[in-house]
Amino acid sequence: MMKNLQDTTTLHNGVKMPWFGLGVFKVEEGPELVNAVRTAIKLGYRSIDTAAIYENEEGVGQGIREGIAEAGISREDLFVTSKVWNADLGYESTISAYETSLAKLGLEYLDLYLIHWPVEDKYKEAWRALEGLYKEGKIKAIGVSNFQIHQLKKLMKDAEVKPMVNQVEYHPRLTQKELQSFCREQGIQLEAWSPLMQGQLLDQPLLKELADKYNKSIAQIILRWDLQNGVITIPKSTKEHRIAENASIFDFELTKEDMELIHGLNQDHRVGPDPDNFDF
C-alpha cells in the first residue's frame, strides 16, 4: 500500500496516476498560485489538478515549468489534470476548449482531462470529443467529474472508451459508498475533491481524538483515510507548511476499527452542488 508521495495507482488503460496531488480550486492567478505549484513539485508532489473554470491555468503552467526546472525532473514525471467547463460541452467546442487549456498551461498534452459536470444532453457529445482526443494520443487518460451512478451508466451505454476516473466530492460526511462500489466494479478510479470538506471538519471531536492518538493533524487523518479507502485525493493549499503537512501521511496507518469510526461520520452531506440538481 502507498508508501510515499510518488506512489501511483494504475488506471484501467495502464496509465499510472499518483494517489496524491495538489488541487488549485479558487486560487487566483498570481505569484501565490505559481509559488504553490512550484513548492508542491519541489516537495515531491507529482500530480497537479486544475480546470478551465478556475481561470488559473496560465499560473499553474508557469508553476509547473519552474517546479520542473528546480526539482530537476521532466514533464513526463508529472501528472497534470484539467477539466472542460459546462459552457463548452459540445463536440467541436470541447476539442477547442482542450486546445485552449493546453495553450494556457503551455503543455503538449494532458495526463487526464475530465468533463467537469454532467450537464444533461451535453455530456455525451463532449465524451465523444474526449474519446477522439484520447485515441489520437493527445490525452493519456480521460474521465468525468461529479457523475452519479445513473449518469455513468448513461454515458457508458454509447461510449467506446470507459471513463478512467470519476472525481467527486468525497469526505467523512459524504462517503459515497454506493458510487464507490459501482466505480470499483467498473474499474473506474474514484478521486476526491474537497477532501477536507472546505475546512468544516477541522474541529470534529472524533477526528480530533484520532489526531491525538496518531500524533497527526485532523487533515492528515482525513487524507490518510482517503488513501486507505483507495480514493485518490488532491487537497488544496497555497501555504508551504500546509502543502508539506498534507503530504506527510505516508508514515502511519489507520487501523481497520478507526477507518470504520470515520466511515460512521457519514451524513450524505454535501458542501458543493448536487450533481442531480445544479443550474450552471
Domain that holds residue 162: 8-200+231-237
Query: How far apart are the C-alpha atoms of 39 and 162, rounded to whole Å?
Result: 34
Give pLDDT, residue 134: 98
By C-alpha distance, which of 86, 63, 75, 67 is closest to 111?
75
Catalytic pick among 54, 98, 123, 134? 54
Residue 123 is a catalytic residue: no
Instruction: Write the CATH number for 42.
Output: 3.20.20.100
Give pLDDT, residue 1: 64
Number of domains, the chain: 1
Give pLDDT, residue 152: 98
Per residue of the chain (280 residues), give pLDDT as tens.
678 999 999 999 999 999 999 999 988 899 999 999 999 999 999 999 999 999 999 999 999 999 999 999 999 999 999 999 999 999 999 999 999 999 999 999 999 999 999 999 999 999 999 999 999 999 999 999 999 999 999 999 999 999 999 999 999 999 999 999 999 999 999 999 999 999 999 999 999 999 999 999 999 999 999 999 999 999 999 999 999 999 999 999 999 999 999 999 999 999 999 999 999 9
Task: Please tell me the number of Cα atoms within 13 Å of 142 on its side-chain side.
Answer: 26
Between the CA of residue 227 and those of 61, 87, 161, 178, 189, what are the distances in Å? Answer: 27, 33, 26, 18, 12
**Bridge partners, residue 143, by sequence:** 114, 165
Is 256 within the bounds of a domain? no
Query: How far apart are the C-alpha atoms of 235 and 49, rounded to whole Å?
Result: 10
Say how far residue 44 (Cα) sits from the centre of its chain: 17
21 and 46 in contact (C-beta within 8 Å)? Answer: yes
Phi, psi of 245 (to 5 degrees): -65, -45
Give pLDDT, residue 2: 78
Is 276 within the bounds of a domain? no
189 and 17 in contact (C-beta within 8 Å)? Answer: yes
Is 34 within the bounds of a domain? yes
Is 259 within the bounds of a domain? no
What the block records as the C-alpha cell of 69 is: 526546472
Query: How far apart are the C-alpha atoms of 56 and 63, rounded to whole Å?
Result: 11
Is 268 within the bounds of a domain? no
Is 66 within the bounds of a domain? yes
Task: Return the number of other C-beta atoms located less than 10 Å from residue 174's C-beta.
Answer: 21
Give pLDDT, residue 222: 98
By C-alpha distance, which of 51, 61, 138 is closest to 87?
51
Taking phi over 0 as left and psi of -120 to 50 as alpha, with beta for the rest, 57 belongs to: alpha
Which residues have CB under 8 Å from 157's CB, separation 6+?
none
| Threshold 0.95, pTM exceeds | yes
What the block records as the C-alpha cell of 162 is: 470507459
End-to-end distance of the chain based on CA atoms, in angstroms? 39
Is 179 within the bounds of a domain? yes
Parallel, antiparallel, or unpaired for β 165-169 and 22-23? unpaired
Give pLDDT, residue 103: 98
DSSP state letters, 70-136: HHT--GGG-EEEEEE-GGG-SHHHHHHHHHHHHHHHT-S-EEEEEE-S--TTTHHHHHHHHHHHHHT
Is 205 within the bounds of a domain? no
By C-alpha distance, which of 219, 229, 233, 217 is closest to 256?
229
Give pLDDT, residue 80: 98
Query: How far apart are the C-alpha atoms of 129 and 137, rounded to whole Å?
Result: 13
Query: How far apart are the C-alpha atoms of 115 and 94, rounded to whole Å?
Result: 9
